[in-house]
Every structure is written in C-alpha cells, then in structure tokens.
Amino acid sequence: MIKYIRKMFKNGWEYFWRQGFLSFATALVIFIATILGTALYFFQGGVMYLTQELKDKIDISVTFKEEVARDSILSIREELVNLPEVKNVEYISSEEAYDSFVKAHEGDKYLEALELISVNPFLPSLRIQTKQPSQYKQISEYLKQDQFKDLVDEVNDYKRGVMIERLSSLTNSVSLAGILVTLFLSLIAVVVTFNTLRLSIYSQKEEIGIMRLVGAKNSFIRGPFLVQGMLCGVFAAALSFFLFLIIPFAFNEQLQTLFLGFDCLLFFKNNFFWVFILNLVIGIGLGLISSYFAVRKYLKD
Amino acid sequence: MIEFKNVTKEYPPNLVKEKKTALKNISFEIKDGEFVTLCGRSGAGKTTILKLISCEEKPTSGLVMFDDTNTADVKKSDAYLIRQKIGFIFQDYKLLPYKTVYENVAYALEAFDFNESLVKDEVMQVLELVGLENKVDHFPKELSGGEQQRVSIARALIHRPKIILADEPTGNLDPYNARDIIKILLKINESGSTVILSTHSKDTVNFLEKRVITLEDGRIIRDEENGVFSL
C-alpha cells in the first residue's frame, strides 16, 4: 500500500511539474475559488464586527430626580444587573456627567452657556446595555413601572433599541446578500475549475488510453491525476493564503477605513489557523473532486 | 492460445458514420509461440481483430477466447488482467509524452506491481536489447520515429508477455528502420512469445515467410503457412 501511494505521488508530481503551464493555469482557476471562499470568511467576520459595534453603541439612559440619593440609585442598579436581559449597567453621577460634557464640548458655545448658569444641570443616571437590541423595550417598560415613578426623571428611550434592531436586521440582510453573491461567484469558480481540469485531463485522454492498454489498473491510472489536482489545489491555496497575508499587512489602515473600522489584520491574526485550513480545504478539495470526476469519464469507456 | 469462432463485429451508426460491419463471421486459431501476420487493405478488419483480443472491443456475435477466457465475459474494470499478458506495439508508438524513455518502459512494470528493486535492471536490459541504453533520459519528442518505435517495443517486452500485438508497427518508418523492427519481432518470437503482426506492407509480409491471414472487407480470404502478400 505504501509502495502504491509513493508511486502515485511520484507520478502525480511528474504530471504536475512537467506539464508546467497546464498545471499553472489550473492552479490559477482554483486560486480564484479559494480567494472567493476566504473573502467570504473575512466578510462574515466583518459583518459580525459591525453588528457587535452597533449593539455596543446603543444603551438606555435612565436619569433620576435630583433629590434621589446615590444609594437608592445603586440599589436600582443592583436590581437591574440581576435581570437576565441586562448585559451591563453603568452609574454616572451628576458630577461625572458634568465632567464628561465639559470634556466633550471644550471650547464651544455650549460650554460658555454652562459656565454662565454656574450650577450643575446634569442629573445622575444609569446607562444600561441589554444582551439583545429587542430587549431594550422590556427594560424601558420595567423602569416606567409605578415603583420607580418617584425616583425616575426620564427613561431615554427604547426607540433606540428599535433603531438598532432595524440596523441590525439591515446588516443581516446585507450580510445575507453578500453571502449569496459570494456563494454564486464561488459556484461559478467551482464550475470553471471543474471544466478547466476536465479540459486539462481531456488533453491527456490518449495517455489514459495508453496506460490502460499497457495493463494499468484504473486505480493506478486515477491516483496520479488526483495527486496532480491536489497539487494544483495546494499551489492555489498557498497563493491565496499569501495574498490574504500580504494585503492586511500592507493596507490595514486603508482597509479599516473602507470597512468601517473592521481590523482585517487583527482578524487574520486571530484566525490565522482557520484561514490556512480554509484555503487548503477549498484548494485541495476542488482539485481532488474535479480531477476525480474528469478522469472517471475516460476510465469508464 | 487465441481462438475466434464465428466472430462478427458491427459498429453502430452515429452522426458522422453509417453502421459498419468490420468482421463478418470469421474463425481461426493462433497457437502459443506462433508468428502470424494479418494482412489486408485499410479497413479490412485487422485492427478490429487486435482490439477484440485485447478486450478493447467485444464481438457483436461469436466467441473470442484468450487462453481459456471468453473475452466477452471480462468486465471493463478487469480488462487489465488480459492486457497484462499482452505487449502492444502501435504504428504511432503511443508513448507517454511527459515521461522519459526509461519511465515509459518502467511504467509498464510499475503498473504490474513489479518488485521495485529489480525494475532498473530489467528496464536497462530491455533498452540494451533495442539499442537505446544511451537515451534513457530523453523524452519521446527528442527521438526519431525509429527510436520511438524501439521504445514502444521495449515497453511491450518488459513484462515478458505471452503475446505481442503489433499494429502496423512499421507504417511510419523508413525501410531500414522497418527492417530492424521486424527483425526484433522475429527475435521476440524465437524467445517463445506469440506475435500477431498487422500490416499492409508487401515487403514485410514476403520477408517474414510466416503464417499469413489475409482479410478483405471483414472476411478471411486466405490463411496460409509461409504465406506471401497477395491482394
């Protein structure tokens, strides 16, 4: 068996190497398919990042009446933190709110107006983040209950949750459309790869006939063609991996601006292993399967 | 032993060709160790006989026996078992273009799962026999027609087949190379292999002075020991 596999690889390498141009052309077509597959993976990563970013930017702000004591607010915070829907609750005192305003509006006319009234108009508040955008409504209604009526000045407002939900659903739709387009392009790449390999093996139809006449078993003939297809796939995967390695390193800033802050380089570093495996699986898989079906035709006759 | 019993071979019509009857009810026997020349015009049915022996085609009716095997019963996936007993020589050499002389010859042994440590010696021995020991690393396109045909013969001989099928092996060669090839075939026959040679060369047939089966329009019109070319 080992002897057979060694011969298969030796002959497959010979076909791959000696038919240089044909192998290169085939590998190039598989390369397009691997690029599309890997781009789809990056695209998914980007969409997840954007959705998360949107979710993190939205919260409910509950402002409390001026006379409400800090301890009362903190006990409400405790209650909220224990709710299953709540991800995070941040207490902002009126002083912190004032400082934050000053920092954000340094040097503009709003700050001048604030200095003129010489009192702190900001009320203490809780900033609440839920696990899902759809849960903002529930939290908002919870805080509008009678038990909080005397304490809460304003709940600001679950409509932001609705907005993020809409944005989120829009992002999901865009993501789905992107996946469908990429899948469609990938399908085209698969068909083109299959046909390229079929043509490449068609050009060796006569040689397959000779091998059969010389007394070679079908498996002995098929093996090297599978290895040849696999090597084309490995070559394509290596090219594609190299491309996805170079581009984020060289153009990460530009890509970050283009993809609304999505850090391609960080994504690549965090998913280095999976990007590598994905490229190999697509490349080798396409090369092997296409070769198998292409050569099968001539072994059946 | 090879036996044809009332064999008819028809090729069904297709878009470009009408139905063709290549062999019409022919019968003959070839004993082990014989040298038989199949002689006839193009389209007489010579190549079809060789294809029926090697299981490339199956008869429409009748019986083709190879040793004790009815070739019609051999599955396509098992045809290699019959072909491993045969050495093929073709007019157009049919060498593998991306393999060197050595690799072309060794391929036939590798396909038979031959003991690897002996492959090199066996290949070199047979290449010496056909006078190509100095061209082992050449690719077919770097060789002359005569040299390519000698590689084809070396490949046919390497596994010491019971039978050699030579389909117009001298068709593309000049008279000097053609004579050399025929001499090699005679030598192979003397070593015990059966040789079936298909040709339409008068010189070759008359030079051999062996059994000649003459075909015309799919029928055997003459089968003579020490026959001569007469069409």
Classify B111 as helix, strand or coil: helix
pLDDT exceeds cutoff 60 at A224: yes
pLDDT exceeds cutoff 70 at A74: yes
The two beta strands, A125-130 and B20-30, are unpaired
Residue of B56, B77, B96 with shortest CB distance to A207: B96
Does this model's pTM top 0.80? no
Q: In a 10 Å sphere around its CB, with 0-12 CB exposed, 13-18 middle and 19+ buried, how is residue A189 labelled? A: buried
The mean-pLDDT minimum among A86-100, A125-139, B49-63, B207-221 falls in A125-139
pLDDT exceeds cutoff 70 at A70: yes
Q: What is the dihedral of CA B164, B68, B23, B76, to 10 degrees?
A: -80
pLDDT tens per residue, range B160-187: 898 999 998 888 778 888 888 888 889 8
pLDDT confidence of residue B198: 93
Which of A100, A126, A158 is at the close of a domain? A158
pLDDT exceeds cutoff 60 at A205: yes
Provide the percentage of residues in chain A whose pLDDT is more than 70.
95
| Contacting residues of B for A3, CB less than 8 Å apart | 113, 116
Task: State the residue for tokens 């970050």.
Answer: A256
pLDDT exceeds cutoff 70 at A160: no
Across the range A282-299, mean pLDDT stands at: 88
Average pLDDT, chain B: 89
Distance of residue B84 Cα from the nearest chain A Cα, in angstroms: 5
If asked whether residues A129 and A193 sit together in one domain, one would say no
If asked whether residues A49 and A89 sit together in one domain, one would say no
pLDDT tens per residue, range B22-42: 999 999 999 999 999 999 888
What's the structural domain count of chain A?
A: 2
pLDDT exceeds cutoff 90 at B91: no
pLDDT confidence of residue A67: 84
If asked whether residues A92 and A147 sit together in one domain, one would say yes
pLDDT confidence of residue B18: 81
pLDDT confidence of residue B231: 67
pLDDT exceeds cutoff 90 at B3: yes
pLDDT exceeds cutoff 80 at A271: yes
Across the range B62-75, mean pLDDT stands at: 91
Note whether A18 contacts B98, CB cutoff 8 Å.
yes
If asked whether residues A288 and A171 sit together in one domain, one would say yes
Which of A106, A127, A158 is at the close of a domain? A158
Provide the percentage of residues in chain A whose pLDDT is more than 90.
15
pLDDT confidence of residue B171: 82
Task: State the residue for tokens 């590998």.
Answer: A27
DSSP character for B57?
Answer: S
If asked whether residues A176 and A29 sit together in one domain, one would say yes
Distance of residue A4 Cα from the nearest chain B Cα, in angstroms: 8
CATH number at residue A80: 3.30.70.3040
If asked whether residues A151 and A287 sit together in one domain, one would say no
Residue of B54, B77, B103 with shortest CB distance to A213: B54
pLDDT confidence of residue B154: 92
Name the residue with higher pLDDT: B33 or A167. Answer: B33
| Contacting residues of B for A209, CB less than 8 Å apart | 94
If asked whether residues A136 and A257 sit together in one domain, one would say no
Note whether A7 contacts B110, CB cutoff 8 Å.
yes
pLDDT confidence of residue A7: 84
CB B22 within 8 A of CB B45: yes
If asked whether residues A214 and A111 sit together in one domain, one would say no
Start-to-end CA distance of chain B, whole Å, equals 28
| Contacting residues of A for B88, CB less than 8 Å apart | 213-214
pLDDT confidence of residue B207: 87
Across the range A133-153, mean pLDDT stands at: 81
- Which residue range is the domain that position A146 belongs to? 59-158
| Contacting residues of B for A2, CB less than 8 Å apart | none
Nearest CA in chain B to A221: B111
pLDDT exceeds cutoff 80 at B102: yes
Name the residue with higher pLDDT: B216 or A50. Answer: B216
Which of A142, A158, A174 is at the close of a domain? A158
pLDDT confidence of residue A165: 67
Rounded distance, CA A70 to CA A247, Å? 52
Alpha helices in chain A (DSSP H): 2-18, 20-57, 70-81, 94-104, 109-117, 136-143, 159-202, 205-213, 218-258, 264-270, 272-300
pLDDT confidence of residue A193: 80
pLDDT exceeds cutoff 90 at B135: yes
pLDDT confidence of residue B16: 74
Provide the percentage of residues in chain B whose pLDDT is more than 90.
51
If asked whether residues A80 and A201 sit together in one domain, one would say no
pLDDT exceeds cutoff 60 at A158: no
Note whether B80 contacts A217, CB cutoff 8 Å.
yes
pLDDT exceeds cutoff 70 at A139: yes
Distance of residue B165 Cα from the nearest chain A Cα, in angstroms: 11
If asked whether residues A50 and A131 sit together in one domain, one would say no
Interface test with B, best of A3, A18, A208, A213 (most B CBs within 10 A): A213
